[in-house]
Chain A
């Protein structure tokens, strides 16, 4: 990882769940899956632990349903703080708690998983999230095949995306747009394929590195966030179109220029 020059360092997973026994079991399981695992059992300690130990934590698995300080509170706090806002977070939500999922994604969670879940699915998600972060940090926002040497910057409608440093520049205003890693990847993919429709399944697989599931609103939430940011920060509207039953489309520039 970036904080450690040795590439074989095992990624550190922080488990946040009020069920101690489950934490112990998951710790054992994930350790055998080549993760370093530590756990805390309430929201307040999670906030403290993450702010103290931000550089050592590679991914947080966060249970949303906790007494007192809930998972959403932790999420909000972590995303606000400067030193820890980059840490990928996977939420564990009760099945059917769609609202929690959407709120969590809007607050900047990277992915979610219904609880209870197959632990193998959890470790697959953790790996996917880690792969994503690694690629981003190495300057590959899209598919893993993108070569780092050439300049991959894309510029459309006065928005310039540079994967090398993850910057989103609004050229007219000479300022940067703050996007999360996932949002950057979604926007980058859409701009790369401007003029053609990308299905939700395709976007999910390429950006979140997993399969699309039923009632999966992750991509929709990320895209709605991108739209909001583009509209409020750069005054750019209607560049990402939803095509019902098909997917999303970034409009081509010449059609829009007028």
Chain B
């Protein structure tokens, strides 16, 4: 499972770190104290035992001790009631002779504890013994109060949660803010308490604010520029056209040239319009609407028939009635541009076939019966201002298909142009049936 939320990431990291640190500390402390206590207790116990043995020895009750060297080692400690009673140890008198030894043959030697003892008779003895096995850590842990343990876990959870929350909350706030800006494209004031912060989050907030201001400024500039371009370039064109017509009225012989001036002006005007359309594609916030594709296409075809009354544009649809979500304005422009493109580049009497089909996507195919396009040119068709070598007409600027592509991409769809195997150009558009975000 992938953890996506910063809150949980930080929380889990802190929590684990907390638990680990607490665990490690507890272990070390317990270990140290337990070991020390254990050794002290053992030593006390050993001293008592040693004293007892020495008492027995001096009292003469430990007669068999000489035999220990010979036989004792061979017999198991269980055979000797004395040996069984005592922990494993060796006792030597002041001459270094062993007086007691109950260490079994197979005894695994650990760190020896050695100490001297002075008996009641003022005789020195030397004792050498071994510690029994250390108590397990779990046993030590059991000495910890269960309540204590629960408290540690709760405290650790709380600390982790608070830490994690204080870090992730302002970041979430900022994310909400930028999300809102992305969707609404409208500036709202940044949260004040975040702006006032002096830490990295405060810096991030201020940077975000500065960035949005910059975007707003750029957008406003560009909008103004577009407006100015369209206004300022068109105004002279309009004056030019009127001037040409005045010349024509004064001098009817110039009609041929003034007509040319007029048509060139209109051409520039159309070009300005297309450039504006293209640049608006990314700027404008378009409205999503439910449309029914078949009537939608029929309307586009009606419009095209006004310009190309001779064309046979045929629509074949296997679509059930129903609506899809789309940006009507963009989809309209895309489909119209593609159909118009076919109209422009194919013989006047040839047909154009459009089909709609629904699989897991919507597929719209637009096919003409013209000469097609060279394979190596196909991809370039979407480039701005590119015009294929095959020029049936010189109208158009090579922007139409670029606009269509951007418009379809806004729908998260795809558009492909290829030569149909039976001749002519085929454009295939796929539109996802999911909701547009």
Contacts and interface: CB of A to CB of B under 8 A. Distances in A.
Interface residues of B, number: 30
B241 A95 contact: no
Contacts, number: 68
Contact of A244 (B243, B295, B307): B295
Interface string B185-229: 000000000000000000000000000000000000000000000
Nearest to B235: A19
A253 B130 CA distance: 122
Nearest to B315: A245
B306 A95 contact: no
A10 interface: no
A32 B304 CA distance: 36
A19 B307 CA distance: 31
Contact of B238 (A22, A201, A244): A22
Given A29-B249, A65-B231, A214-B304, A116 B238 contact: yes
Interface stretch (A75-83, A117-125, A133-141): A117-125
A216 interface: yes
A25 B249 contact: no
A256 interface: no
A95 B231 CA distance: 11
A28 B246 contact: yes
A210 interface: no
Contact of B242 (A94, A119, A245): A119
Nearest to B233: A116
A26 interface: yes
Interface stretch (B142-150, B270-278, B380-388): B270-278
Given A214-B304, A245-B301, A25 B234 contact: no
Contacts of B171: none
| Most A CB within 10 A of own CB, among B245, B246, B266 | B245
Nearest to A30: B242
A97 to B, nearest CB: 10
Interface string A41-68: 0000000000000000000000001000
Contacts of B242: 22, 25-26, 28-29, 119
Contacts of B273: 95-96
Contacts of B351: none
Contacts of A244: 295, 298-299, 302
A116 B237 contact: yes
B136 interface: no
Interface residues of B: mostly helix, strand, loop or mixed?
Answer: helix
A19 B295 CA distance: 41
A216 B306 contact: yes
A21 B307 CA distance: 33
A212 interface: yes
Interface string A9-47: 000000000010110011011001100000000000000
B269 interface: yes
B399 to A, nearest CB: 13
A95 B238 contact: no
Interface string B290-324: 00000100110111101100000000000000000
Contacts of B230: 94
A215 interface: yes
Contacts of A28: 242, 246
Contacts of B106: none
Contacts of A213: 306
A223 to B, nearest CB: 15
B231 A32 contact: no
Given A21-B239, A215-B303, A118 B266 contact: yes
Contacts of B235: 19, 22, 116
A116 B270 CA distance: 10
Contacts of B414: none
B262 interface: yes
B362 interface: no
A22 B307 CA distance: 30
Contacts of B152: none
B239 A118 contact: no
15 contacts: A22-B235, A22-B238, A25-B239, A25-B242, A29-B245, A29-B249, A94-B230, A116-B265, A118-B241, A213-B306, A215-B303, A216-B306, A244-B298, A245-B298, A245-B301
Given A118-B245, A118-B262, 20 more contacts: A19-B235, A22-B239, A28-B242, A29-B242, A29-B246, A32-B246, A94-B230, A94-B234, A115-B234, A116-B234, A116-B241, A116-B269, A118-B241, A118-B266, A119-B245, A201-B306, A214-B306, A216-B306, A244-B298, A245-B298
The 5 closest A-B pairs by CB, nearest first: A116-B238, A25-B242, A119-B245, A116-B237, A32-B249
